[in-house]
Amino acid sequence: MPKFLKRILPVVIIAVIFLFLGKNLVENWSSIPFSELHFNVWLLILSFLFLIPHFLSYSKSWQVIMRTLGHPISFWQSFWMIATTQIAKYLPGRVWYMVGRVYVGKKEELDEQSLAVSMILETCLLIASIGSIFLISAFIAGNFDFTSLLVYSIPLIVALVILVPRILQWIINIGLGILKKPRKDLKLTYLKNLRLSFWFFILWFAQIIGFYFLINAIYYIPFSKVPNLAAAYALSWLIGFIVIFAPGGLGVREGTMTFLLSSVLPTPLAIVISFITRIWITLFEVLVFFIGLIIMKVVGKKDKAA
């Protein structure tokens, strides 16, 4: 495929998705239950507050991974390195935030190969944990037949397989090969992989609860529907992550979320919620980026003083 087509095709696909969602929203505008809409600023603030433990858990997870790989870093080092590079995921391709993390890690005199391994391991654990959450949520929601249950089981099966030490080692070495890094043998056990996964489950639970309060800030949904929301959030993130041509899953995540939320929300409202969710998480990541810059300077000064 010609280079210009590779560059323009993702843009066209994303544009088509947004055009389809926009057209659907305009055509079904009258079906939005305006009388049931409200704005609760306290619930909106609460939704942002739940993103704090989400990001703190994310920072802790990488600190634990680096310690497991024999390169201990402080929690605040982990915080600012993730905070200042996470925003790069909005660039085309799926590698830029990884490249950014490796770059700042090298500045902190961390081993380049271990940094690459940590990013591959982190990605595997993110996928394994969100896949498990999707299945558990879909099962609790109960909206399935035998066929859909088999389909829902796929992410959990993948998650359990990914955590098998030999398979995880194989995946890591494939990733290192793609990155043109030498192979690395890790002393991982299934129990150790499950322990590493703990922090990823915490970060997803916090984000999903924040998502629930975000919706309730404008439209009431009973707490009993959290499993439905969790399944929609988990699968839309997973598909958005897998589709590498969409920066940050842009368009793909909104389209998937709209489709899944339509089972508990009017379709046009589901479209609006998917857009609001993107703004919600992006605003938080921008805020964390600037906080990360401040922490980077503070931690840097302490290191120099030491």
Q: Angle at CA 279, nearest 5°, toward 278 and 282? A: 85
Helices 190-216 and 267-305: crossing angle in degrees, nearest 10, is 120
pLDDT beneath 50: ranges in the chain: 305
Q: How far apart are CA 16 and CA 173, in angstroms?
A: 37
| pTM (predicted TM-score) | 0.85
What pLDDT is stored for residue 151 in this prediction?
61
What pLDDT is stored for residue 4 in this prediction?
54
What pLDDT is stored for residue 263 in this prediction?
84
Dmax (CA) of the chain: 64
Torsion sign (Cα): 250, 253, 259, 265: negative
What pLDDT is stored for residue 53 in this prediction?
95
Task: Assign 72 to helix, strand or coil.
Answer: coil
Domain chopping of the chain, boundaries: 37-305
Q: Are 99 and 107 in contact (CB under 8 A)?
A: no
Which residues are CB-contacts of 124 (< 8 A; sequence separation ≥ 6)? 162, 168, 171, 172
What pLDDT is stored for residue 246 in this prediction?
67
Q: What is the pLDDT of residues 241-278, one digit of tens each?
A: 877 666 667 778 888 888 889 888 888 899 899 999 99
Q: Where are the beta strands (DSSP E) in the chain?
A: none
Q: What is the pLDDT of residues 34-51, one digit of tens each?
A: 888 899 999 999 999 999
Could you tell me which of 230, 227, 224 has the C-alpha nearest to residue 141? 227
Task: Assign 182 to helix, strand or coil.
Answer: coil
Q: How far apart are CA 272 and CA 270, in angstroms?
A: 5
What pLDDT is stored for residue 179 in this prediction?
67
What pLDDT is stored for residue 165 in this prediction?
75
